[in-house]
Amino acid sequence: MIIGVTKENFKGERRVALVPASVSALKKLGAEVRVEARAGEASGFLDQSYIDAGATIVTDRTDLIQSSDILLQVRAAVANPEAGQSDLALLKENQILIAQCDPLSDPQKMLELAAKKADIFSLELVPRITRAQSMDVLSSMATIAGYKAVLLAASHSPQMFPMMMTAAGTLTPARVFILGAGVAGLQAIATAKRLGAVVMAYDVRPAVKEQVESLGAKFVEMDLGTAEGQGGYAREMDEEFYRKQRELMLEVIAESDVVITTAAIPGKKAPILVTEEMVQAMPAGGVIVDLAAERGGNCELTKAGEEVEVHDVVILGPLNIPSEIPRHASQMYSNNVTTFLKSLIKDGQVNLDLTDEVLAGTLVTHQGELRHPLCRQLANLPELVESTANAETPAVAEPAPASTPAEASADNQSAEETPPESSSDATEDSSSDDGDTYKLQ
C-alpha cells in the first residue's frame, strides 16, 4: 500500500499534509510513504528529513498521484478550486483522497467528483466526539488562527496590550473583545490575556460561559436565547436575532480597542455581526481582525485578503491564517491525519468500516455516490438508506480540541466592565474583576 503526499499548489499555501516525524507511524501500519520533492520546504521540512525518516522522494507529481493508493493533501477539491483541478483529473477508481475539501460550499462539485469513483474523505467533517478529538483538523487550525489573530491585532494597534507602570506614567491595558468562543475564540482569549489585555467575550451558546471565565475573561450575556445547534456548533439564526444582537453589541464595541470575530456557520455565509455604525463608534486607532473573511466576513466592511482603514479603524480580513505559521500547523495537521489513518488501515490494508462514526462522518464520495447526508441535502438529493454519516459538521474558522469542546460560532462582544478612566486599575494577570458576567438587555 502506497501513501502519497503532494506539494500543496493552492496559492499561498505553505503547509504540508505529512511531516517527517509521522512517516514512521505510517510505515508501522504497513505503508510505503512517497513524498513529492520539496513538499515540506515551505514549512521548514527538507526532502532529506523525509528520506531520513524512511520516505521516498518523487519528482514527478503525476506519477506520485497515480501510483498512490491513498493521497494526502491539505487543500483539495472545492478547497482548491483552481490549481487542484489537475490533481482531481488524475484520481482513479477506488483511490482514497484525504484532505480538507470544503464540500459544503459546493456540493454540486462534489457530486461531479463522485463520478470518479474515488473515496474522498473531507477532514472538516470529523464528528465532534471524544474519540475523534485527536483527528479534529478544524480545531487544530482554529487554535493557530486564534493565536495569530491576536498577534496581528497587537502589531497593528497603536498601543501596547498590557498595563505598564513606568517612570513616565501608567499605561492602561488594551480592551479586547472576542466574538465567538469556539476554539479560535478561546485561543484568542488566552493569547490576549497572556499579553496583558483586558478581555471580554461573547458567544450565542451560553454553555461556553464557564470556559470563557476559566481563561480570565469576562463573558458578556445578552438576553437573546440560545443559538446552539447539534454537535456543539452554532446554528443559523434569523435576521431579527442578528439585528437585536447588533444593537446590544454596539455599546461594548464602542469601548473596545480590538475586536476579533470568529463566527461561522457550516456551509453558509458568515453572519454580519459588526456594522459600519459599530466601526464608527470604536476609538480611533481601533483594530478589527475578521477570522471569517473567507466566508464573507463578520464585519460588513471587511475585504477578504486585504487591510483597510475606515473611520480611523484598521480592519484586517486575513485568509488562510494557519499557513502563516506553517511549521506547527503542518505538525498538527500531520498528527490529525496520522491518527485518522490508524482508524482506516488495519493489518496493512484499507478497512473502510462504515459503522465507524469517524470514517462514515468524513466520507463524502464512495463508489460513485455523494454519501455525506448534509452534502446530499445541499445538493437536493434524497437521503441514502442506512447512511451512518454524521449530519452535523464543523464551522468555519473554528473547531475543538480535547480541552475546548465547542466550535467557534457566533457573535460577539467585548467591552470593559470598568469605565475607561479607571482602566488603569486593571492588572496584567487576571484581576479580581475577571470572570464576572457583563449583562446586556
Catalytic residue among 139, 330, 334, 414: 139
CATH architecture of the region 2-136+326-379 = 3-Layer(aba) Sandwich (3.40)
Whole-number average pLDDT of the chain: 87
Is residue 33 scored above 90 in pLDDT? yes
Q: Is 48 a catalytic residue?
A: no
Q: Is 61 a catalytic residue?
A: no
Catalytic residue among 136, 290, 411, 434: 136
- Percent residues over pLDDT 90 in the chain: 74
Q: Residue 209: enclosing H or E segment and its boundaries?
A: helix 209-214
Kindly give the interhelix angle for 137-156 and 183-194, rounded to the nearest 10 degrees: 40
Catalytic residue among 50, 202, 233, 333: 233
C-alpha cell, 290: 475578521
The answer to whether domain 2-136+326-379 and domain 142-319 are alike in fold is yes
For residue range 333-362, list pLDDT tens digits in order: 999 999 999 999 998 999 999 999 999 999
Catalytic residue among 68, 100, 105, 133: 133
Question: Domain 142-319 adopts which CATH fold?
Answer: Rossmann fold (3.40.50)
Higher pLDDT, 20 or 221: 20
For residue range 254-305, list pLDDT tens digits in order: 999 999 999 988 778 998 999 999 999 999 999 999 999 999 999 999 999 9
- Percent residues over pLDDT 70 in the chain: 84
- Shortest CA distance to 100 belongs to which of 125, 119, 133? 125
For residue range 183-242, list pLDDT tens digits in order: 999 999 999 999 999 999 999 888 899 999 999 999 998 776 555 545 545 555 667 777
Residue 103 contacts residue 110 (beta carbons within 8 Å): yes
For the whole model, what pTM was predicted?
A: 0.84
Is residue 154 scored above 90 in pLDDT? yes
- Residues 290 and 305: their CA atoms lie apart, in Å, by 10
Q: Is 333 a catalytic residue?
A: no
CB atoms within 10 A of CB 171: 16
Annotate 225-265 with DSSP letters as a single string: ---B-GGGPBPP--HHHHHHHHHHHHHHHTT-SEEEE----
Catalytic residue among 15, 34, 75, 128: 128
Residue 353 contacts residue 326 (beta carbons within 8 Å): no
Q: Is 128 a catalytic residue?
A: yes
For residue range 54-102, list pLDDT tens digits in order: 999 999 999 999 999 999 999 999 999 989 889 999 999 999 999 999 9
C-alpha distance across the termini of the chain, in Å: 60
For residue range 106-148, list pLDDT tens digits in order: 988 999 899 999 999 999 999 999 999 999 999 999 999 999 9
Domains in the chain: boundaries? 2-136+326-379, 142-319
Whose grid coordinates read 473573511? 293
For residue range 138-152, list pLDDT tens digits in order: 999 999 999 999 999
- Residues 296 and 413: their CA atoms lie apart, in Å, by 19
Q: Is 438 a catalytic residue?
A: no
| SS3 assignment, position 124 | helix
Is residue 40 scored above 80 in pLDDT? yes
